[in-house]
């Protein structure tokens, strides 16, 4: 099979190396768009200005005797997170990004586990973490990102930056002279929101640099691109792909004011690239069609898709003209959607392509820094999670008769191991191969198709594997399903049956049944959705019981349903 030529990328040894070279090449270009308040316009920060802030803060960190120590960062997506992260990781310190949405007790547990010496956090946490240094005496400094919310005992992040600037002006070049050991663990990431289940993933500069070069060789990220940061950037998918990749390629990152402001922020920032998860893109897709139906334009939308498809067959691409109204809703500049964290319904991916927005999905895992496979902008499959990254070996092992087995990989982006947990490390890294715990199959076209998580698999009565994600995708095709969860339920006799919980889409249901629909009619409507799915599956894959939920599922900050916490909650 002929391989498509990779895009040229510059070689980098470390995150620090990437930052220095980008700030030289793209010095006067805009690196970030930030806001003082939601109601205010975006302000531009150039690459040169950003590097100065990072170097000032890093210099002050050294003067504070933080060299060789760990620094935690806890905040919403914001410019100060990026300054803090880069000042830490570009120095000889280890960065520990932590989820802002965790309960204060869980945050404190993770800070204890990771043995940090300093904590940088948003002003929103200042009061909740007021006694942090008393609870963890080993913490030397607590640093507040918001000058107006600094409390007694806290340091002001911007004052530290000013102090670092003064040190440099007086001849302190300690931060300039730092040498990075690219093989050492300098990033500590926790994999779960529940501290009892958390594993600390240790990543090196080499892991991240390798991943950046590989992914950018597969997809053309342009220096004119604007990324909108919507996913929590303490996650490696959002930080590596949504913050560091743009910085590497001379692009710009804008920060969203929150999920409900995304459409406004897309327009304000003139976003061209949006990273997201399937739940986000499924919602956007459903909203497009719901609006079309409400305005009596769904027929016109279908006709537009047929027309653009016919024109493309004769070499005419008029998609962005035909669907200008749709694209204008996203600010008019969006060219690329990238989906990760889980597989998406191929029909949704294809639909965005047909409307003139390139839609690519990839596959990754925190332990691989994170990307393992990626669709290319010049070669993609809507039903696949992508092609293996250059320099990364991938195998499918223990395959069944359908060719489905566990995905394992080997390469320079594979983590060093789990923090203080050699036993767990040995379970997933064997002879240099990382065992992902995910099931997939490798097609003759070289693309990997995702089947599901190993731990989610349901064993049917006939011994066959049922992948709940597949059934969830089928259910989610219905306009009447907002969210769903499929799982195995064991009865008193030890038999396992497939059950589903469904949270209906209120707007679509009311459009069909009227406001405040009768409970029995709602049950009939949702059951008809389940029946349609069952008709398209063998008997052993049938969903035998359906529970209708009144509330959304509890989710992680990357909008994944917390599967095991809720599978049997309503049984």
Residues 482 and 439 in one domain: no
Residue 527 has a CB neighbour count (10 Å cut-off) of 14
Q: Look-up: residue for tokens 């670092």?
A: 164
Per the CB < 8 A criterion, the answer to whether 395 and 433 are in contact is yes
Largest Cα separation within the chain, whole Å, is 77
Tens place of pLDDT for every residue, the chain, 571 residues?
Answer: 456 899 999 999 999 999 999 999 999 999 999 998 888 999 999 999 999 999 999 999 999 999 999 999 999 999 999 999 999 999 999 999 999 988 888 899 999 999 999 999 999 999 888 889 889 999 999 999 999 999 999 999 999 999 999 999 999 999 999 999 999 999 999 986 444 567 899 999 999 999 999 999 999 999 999 999 999 999 999 999 999 999 999 999 999 998 788 889 999 999 999 999 888 898 888 888 888 888 888 888 989 988 988 998 999 999 999 999 889 988 999 999 999 877 888 989 999 999 999 999 999 999 999 999 999 999 999 999 999 999 999 999 999 888 999 999 999 999 999 999 999 999 999 999 999 999 999 999 999 999 888 778 887 766 677 888 889 888 988 989 999 899 888 776 667 888 999 999 998 898 889 988 888 999 999 999 999 999 988 888 899 999 999 999 887 766 777 776 566 555 5
Domain count for the chain: 3
Per the CB < 8 A criterion, the answer to whether 257 and 38 are in contact is yes
Residues 29 and 121 in one domain: yes
The Cα 253–Cα 34 span in angstroms is: 9
The Cα 556–Cα 193 span in angstroms is: 7
Residues 114 and 48 in one domain: yes
Per the CB < 8 A criterion, the answer to whether 448 and 403 are in contact is no
3-state SS, 165-229, equals: HHHHHCCCCCCCCCCCCCCCEEEEEECCCCCCCCCEEEEEHHHHHHHHHHHHHHCCCCCCCEEEE
Q: What is the phi/psi pair of residue 546, to 5°?
A: -125, 130
pLDDT, position 477: 87
Closest CA to 349 of 284, 439, 404: 284
Residues 41 and 165 in one domain: yes
Residues 165 and 55 in one domain: yes
pLDDT, position 194: 46
Residue 313: inside a domain, yes or no? Answer: yes
Residues 88 and 237 in one domain: yes
Per the CB < 8 A criterion, the answer to whether 245 and 221 are in contact is yes
Residues 23 and 121 in one domain: yes
Residue 439: inside a domain, yes or no? Answer: yes
Residues 466 and 438 in one domain: no
The Cα 146–Cα 31 span in angstroms is: 21
Among the candidates 419, 438, 454, a domain finishes at 454
Identify the CATH number of the domain in which residue 387 sits: 3.40.50.12780
DSSP category for residue 492: T
Residue 200: inside a domain, yes or no? Answer: no
Which two structure tokens, joined as six digits, stand for 258? 């929150």
The Cα 363–Cα 237 span in angstroms is: 10
Strand partners, 72: 96, 119
Per the CB < 8 A criterion, the answer to whether 150 and 168 are in contact is no
Q: Which helix (H) or strand (E) holds 359?
A: strand 358-364
pLDDT, position 277: 87
Residues 461 and 326 in one domain: no
Residues 369 and 492 in one domain: no
pTM for the predicted model, two decimal places: 0.86
Spatial neighbors of 238 by CB under 8 A, at least 6 apart, are 77, 229, 231, 232, 275, 558
126: helix, strand or coil: coil
Which two structure tokens, joined as six digits, stand for 380? 């993609």
Which two structure tokens, joined as six digits, stand for 69? 């120590």
Q: Which helix (H) or strand (E) holds 435?
A: strand 433-442
Residues 425 and 512 in one domain: no
Would you report the helix, strand and coil content of the chain in percent, each value rounded to 5?
40, 25, 40
pLDDT, position 566: 60
Instruction: Give the domain extent around 499.
Output: 457-566
Chain centroid to CA 117: how far? Answer: 28
Helices 157-169 and 79-89, interaxial angle, to 10°?
Answer: 50
What confidence tens digit (pLDDT) does each residue in 82-112 have?
Answer: 999 999 999 999 999 999 988 888 899 999 9
Closest CA to 218 of 423, 22, 363, 73: 363
């Amino acid at each position: 099979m002929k391989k498509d030529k990779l895009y040229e990328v510059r070689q980098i040894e470390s995150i620090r190396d990437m930052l220095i070279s980008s700030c030289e090449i793209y010095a006067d270009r805009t690196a970030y768009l930030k806001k003082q308040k939601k109601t205010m316009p975006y302000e531009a920060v150039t690459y040169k200005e950003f590097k100065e802030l990072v170097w000032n803060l890093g210099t002050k960190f050294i003067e504070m005797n933080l060299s060789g120590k760990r620094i935690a960062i806890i905040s919403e997506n914001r410019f100060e997170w990026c300054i803090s992260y880069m000042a830490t990781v570009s120095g000889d310190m280890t960065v520990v990004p932590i989820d802002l949405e965790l309960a204060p007790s869980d945050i404190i547990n993770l800070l204890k586990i990771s043995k940090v010496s300093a904590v940088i956090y948003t002003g929103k946490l200042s009061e909740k973490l007021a006694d942090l240094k008393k609870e963890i005496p080993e913490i030397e400094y607590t640093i507040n990102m918001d000058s107006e919310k600094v409390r007694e005992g806290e340091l002001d992040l911007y004052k530290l930056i000013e102090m670092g600037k003064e040190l440099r002006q007086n001849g302190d070049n300690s931060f300039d002279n730092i040498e990075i050991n690219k093989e050492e663990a300098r990033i500590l990431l926790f994999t779960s929101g529940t501290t009892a289940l958390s594993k600390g993933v240790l990543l090196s500069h080499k892991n991240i640099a390798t991943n950046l070069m590989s992914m950018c060789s597969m997809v053309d990220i342009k220096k004119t691109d604007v990324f909108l940061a919507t996913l929590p950037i303490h996650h490696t998918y959002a930080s590596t792909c949504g913050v560091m990749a743009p910085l590497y390629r001379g692009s710009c990152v804008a920060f969203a004011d929150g999920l409900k402001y995304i459409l406004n922020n897309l327009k304000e920032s003139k976003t061209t690239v949006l990273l997201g998860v399937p739940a986000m893109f499924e919602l956007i897709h459903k909203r497009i069609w719901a609006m079309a139906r409400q305005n009596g334009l769904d027929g016109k939308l279908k006709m537009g898709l047929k027309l653009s498809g016919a024109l493309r067959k004769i070499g005419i691409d008029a998609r962005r003209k035909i669907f200008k109204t749709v694209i204008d809703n996203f600010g008019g500049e969006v060219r690329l959607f990238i989906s990760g964290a889980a597989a998406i319904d191929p029909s949704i991916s294809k639909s965005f392509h047909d409307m003139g927005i390139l839609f690519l999905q990839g596959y990754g895992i925190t332990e691989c820094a994170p990307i393992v496979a990626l669709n290319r902008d010049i070669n993609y499959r809507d039903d696949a999670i992508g092609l293996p990254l250059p320099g990364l070996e991938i195998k499918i092992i223990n395959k069944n008769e359908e060719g489905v087995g566990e995905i394992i990989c080997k390469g320079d982006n594979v983590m060093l191991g789990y923090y203080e947990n050699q036993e767990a490390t040995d379970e997933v890294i064997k002879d240099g191969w990382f065992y992902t715990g995910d099931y997939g199959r490798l097609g003759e076209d070289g693309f990997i198709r995702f089947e599901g998580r190993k731990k989610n698999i349901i064993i049917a009565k006939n011994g066959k594997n049922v992948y709940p994600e597949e059934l969830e995708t089928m259910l989610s095709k219905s306009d009447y399903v907002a969210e769903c969860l499929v799982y195995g339920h064991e009865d008193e006799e030890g038999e396992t049956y497939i059950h589903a919980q469904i949270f209906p889409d209120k707007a679509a249901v009311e459009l069909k049944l009227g406001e405040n629909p009768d409970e029995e009619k709602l049950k009939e409507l949702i059951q008809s959705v389940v029946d349609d799915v069952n008709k398209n599956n063998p008997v052993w894959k049938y969903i035998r019981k359906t529970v209708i939920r009144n509330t959304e599922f509890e989710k992680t900050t990357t909008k994944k349903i917390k599967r095991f916490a809720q599978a049997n909650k309503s049984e």
